[in-house]
Structure 1
Amino acid sequence: MTAIDWDDAYANMPYVPGAEALPAQWAAEAEAFRASGVAIETLRYGAAPRCELDILRPTHPPEGLMVFVHGGYWMKFDRSYWTHLAKGALERGWAVAIPSYTLAPEARVGQMTAEIGAAIVCATEAVSGPIRLAGHSAGGHLVSRMVCADSALPQEVQDRIEHTVSISGLHDLRPLRWTKLNASLNLDMDEATAESAALCMPRSGASVTAWVGGDERPEFIRQAEALHTMWSGLEAQTTCVVEPGHNHFSVIEALTDPKSALLNEILAA
């Protein structure tokens, strides 16, 4: 049997031409969107320096709240890189919250889960109505954890969550222990198991979609299928969508398009 190269399994940039230029592109697009005059309110949801979130509001009273949690393997980026991804939801009349959170190695994954719970509570106090959760990559992991039976969210907030979409999410963290990423993540088997949504019980009645690009690394497709498979039959409504023609980075571009299939899945489910 051939040994699995887990570092290669989770390596996205080497398989996407021009990927090295993408972070600068995201930052520029986000800055341009902020400069366009969109209404943004920044709120602090915790004591740690990165515990802040931006709430973007449509021009009319919002239909509800979409929360988007960014990725970066729990080690990179902050909310300022992703402001433009609120564009599609705003055009459909939804408010959008985009939190930053403490990154590894300063924080362990369990702390990040707790911080995202606090961020969502803060955002829901500022915006009324139904809630839709979306997250990309590591952010997909974090929003999936919000709809587990041991959710960090209070019951009144859980009751407002109508649908959750994990985009290219990581739902079984155990293999990450065998990667170089773990030099920063410091996952042991206990935490990797406890923080793996696919190994947790879902909240009864949770509605969840695992969405992944068809051109992504096979491990990310497996991760999406794992959540759907493990949660099927456990009193949760689950779907897995493999979208053709998209890689790990292009798959989230659809959030800027109010008519995209991905945004329809998040907002119209």
Structure 2
Amino acid sequence: MNSKSLQEMTVLITGASRGIGAAIAERFASAGFRIVIHYLNSHEAANEVARACLAHHSEVMTIRADLRSKEQIVRMYEKLEQLGMLPDVLVNNAGIAHFGLLQDVKEEEWDELIGVNLKGMFLVTQTFMPAMIRQQYGRIINVSSIWGLSGASCEVIYSTTKGGMNAFTKALAKELAPSGVTVNAVAPGAVDTSMNSRLDPQEKEALAQEIPVGRFAHPDEIAALVYFLALPESGYITGQIISPNGGWHT
């Protein structure tokens, strides 16, 4: 059982230097959580997110690691352990996209998406979940995609990684349930982030018209759901793939 207040709890968000990850960091900071912002290359962007979180008077740190490297993740763990900031909440948000016909996909592109979107999630979770098991409390929330549920033409390998993330979520939830650790995934529909920057204004408008609510989601709306799943009172929700998508996919 959790005996900590929210202000005593730490959340680690991977890939938190922009977009949904940045919104998640700010949402938790507004509630007083201690925030760990992970990034790979976007040092200044991560610092900007950290400054936004500090404005909420939360304790904040940024940390760099290549999530495809077990060695770098272990170093990240050791640093957080030394600082007394091992996460009570882990948000596996880091991910990359790919658009193109499957027949044109190069092997190295496949390896890169699997490496970041699946291997990275696996390594981070495997490294940090034992501490949650020891304290008999934890929240693991994986940021998936609507395409992991329905699939998307010209995004086959991206859809594959998100489908794998969903299966990982369901299976691990059963494994960790006796330890007081929940595992859920949030699978957003179209969100107004840089990941959709390949779409021109006309394409965005056409896509928005397919969505019953008539618009893309704002990152803050996704962050609100992630935050809810992280709360102590959400302990009976586990193994779920929840898709905030404006009615686009039901």
Common topology (TM > 0.5): no
More helix by share: 2
More strand by share: 1
TM-score normalised per structure 2: 0.42
TM-score normalised per structure 1: 0.39
